[in-house]
Chain A
Amino acid sequence: MRIVDTKGQECPAPIIATKKALRDAKTGETFKVLTDNQTSLDNLSRFLYDNKTEFSVEQSDNSWTITITKKDSDKQLKIAEEYCKTEIPHFTKGDFIIVFSTDKMGEGEEELGRLLMVNFIKAIKDIEHLPLKMVFYNNGVKLGSFDSPVAEQLRELEKMGVGLLFCATCVKFYHLEEMIKIGDLSNMFEIAQMMASSNNIVKP
Chain B
Amino acid sequence: MKVDLLQMVESGGCSAKISPGQLEEILKNLPLPEDPNILVGIDTHDDAGVYKVNDDLALVLTTDFFPPVCSDPYEFGQIAAANSISDIYAMGGTPVIALNIMMFPASKLPMEAYAAILKGGYEMASEAGVRIIGGHTIDDTPPKYGLAVVGYIHPDKIITNAGARPGETLILTKPVGTGIILAGQRLKMADEKDVKEALKLMKILNKTGADVMKEFNIKGATDITGFGLAGHALKMARASNVSITLKMRQIPLIGNAYRIIDEGCIPGAAFRNLDFAGQETYFSGDLDYNLKMIAFDAQTSGGLLMSVPQGKVDAVLNELHQRGLSDSTVIGSVTAKCDKFLYIEN
Contacts and interface: CB of A to CB of B under 8 A. Distances in A.
Interface residues of B, number: 32
A78 B333 contact: no
Given A91-B166, A92-B165, A84 B339 contact: yes
Interface in A67-108: 78-81, 83-85, 88-92
Interface in A26-47: 39, 42-43, 46-47
A13 B274 CA distance: 19
Contacts of A88: 245, 333, 335, 338
**A interface: dominant SS:** loop
A63 to B, nearest CB: 19
Contacts of A43: 266, 268, 271
A16 B263 contact: yes
A90 B187 contact: no
Contacts of A90: 166-167, 310, 333, 335
Contact of A78 (B263, B286, B289, B292): B286
Nearest to B261: A12
Interface string A147-165: 0000000000000000000
Contact of A10 (B10, B165, B333): B10
Contacts of A79: 285
B185 to A, nearest CB: 12
Given A50-B289, A83-B284, A11 B268 contact: yes
Contacts of A42: 271
A18 interface: yes
Contacts of A11: 266-268, 271
Interface of B: 10, 165-167, 183, 187, 189, 243, 245, 263-268, 271, 274, 282, 284-286, 289, 292, 310-311, 333, 335-336, 338-340, 343
18 contacts: A10-B10, A10-B268, A12-B187, A12-B265, A12-B268, A13-B187, A16-B187, A20-B263, A43-B266, A81-B282, A81-B284, A81-B285, A84-B340, A85-B338, A88-B338, A89-B335, A90-B167, A91-B166
